[in-house]
Chains A and B, each alone.
Chain A
Amino acid sequence: AQSVTQLDSQVPVFEEAPVELRCNYSSSVSVYLFWYVQYPNQGLQLLLKYLSGSTLVKGINGFEAEFNKSQTSFHLRKPSVHISDTAEYFCAVSGGATNKLIFGTGTLLAVQP
């Protein structure tokens, strides 16, 4: 069985500061990893994905994530956040014979001026 853990339910940060949102996964098979963003009262949008190859993945809006197989992690980073980055961020994993996504419980990024 696969699972995803996002330990931080909320991350407050000041504008223009760097941020890291943590994601750890558990799986007995090779995985594909995704980060989604949800702005208030909207659906989820894909930020970035790791399928294979380079472990550093760049996404939209200046976000990037690094796949670390030994640490079973896929942390999301941005060097300088904006007020408009305030949203909930979800890490998700898929793999094996199923095409289902398993989501973490989400991290609310609250950017303060």
Chain B
Amino acid sequence: NAGVTQTPKFQVLKTGQSMTLQCAQDMNHNSMYWYRQDPGMGLRLIYYSASEGTTDKGEVPNGYNVSRLNKREFSLRLESAAPSQTSVYFCASSEGRNNQPQHFGDGTRLSIL
């Protein structure tokens, strides 16, 4: 079972470059999420999609855009990367009810020089 698959696993960008992080889930989940993880700060929600066709801002949306391409796929785009966006990015999915756990991918480690 693949679960939640993120690509790429590692990426180095220069300031100002753009990039799209891809996420796909094979569990037929309704909701999908993008987080960033920084030392000492836990996971912070960037954007989420409660269901296909909807997206909403999370705690730290500035500098990012998202697309819920279909029920399986949810991409995160950095239009003009900044060093402050150096982080580990995690995608997650869930059935969508608040008593259901989220399932996480293995992360994308992004460095911006």
Contacts and interface: CB of A to CB of B under 8 A. Distances in A.
Interface of A: 9, 32, 34, 36, 41-46, 49, 51, 90, 94-96, 98-101, 103-106
A100 B105 contact: no
Interface of B: 4, 31, 33, 40-45, 48, 50, 58, 90, 92, 94, 96-107
Given A43-B90, A44-B90, A90-B42, A101 B102 contact: yes
A80 B50 CA distance: 39
Nearest to B4: A43
A103 B58 contact: no
User: In the complex, which of the residues A9, A43, A95, A98 has the most CB atoms of chain B within 10 Å of its own CB atom?
Assistant: A43
Contacts of B43: 44, 90, 103
Given A96-B98, A99-B96, A99-B98, A105 B40 contact: yes
A46 B104 CA distance: 9
A21 to B, nearest CB: 14
B42 A42 contact: no
Contact of B97 (A34, A99, A103): A99
Nearest to B91: A43
A13 to B, nearest CB: 20
A111 to B, nearest CB: 20
Contacts of A43: 4, 90, 104-107
A44 B104 contact: yes
Contact of A104 (B42, B50, B96): B42
A51 B90 contact: no
A65 B96 CA distance: 24
Contacts of B90: 43-44
B40 A32 contact: no
B45 A100 contact: yes
Given A43-B104, A43-B105, A94 B42 contact: no
A59 B52 CA distance: 31
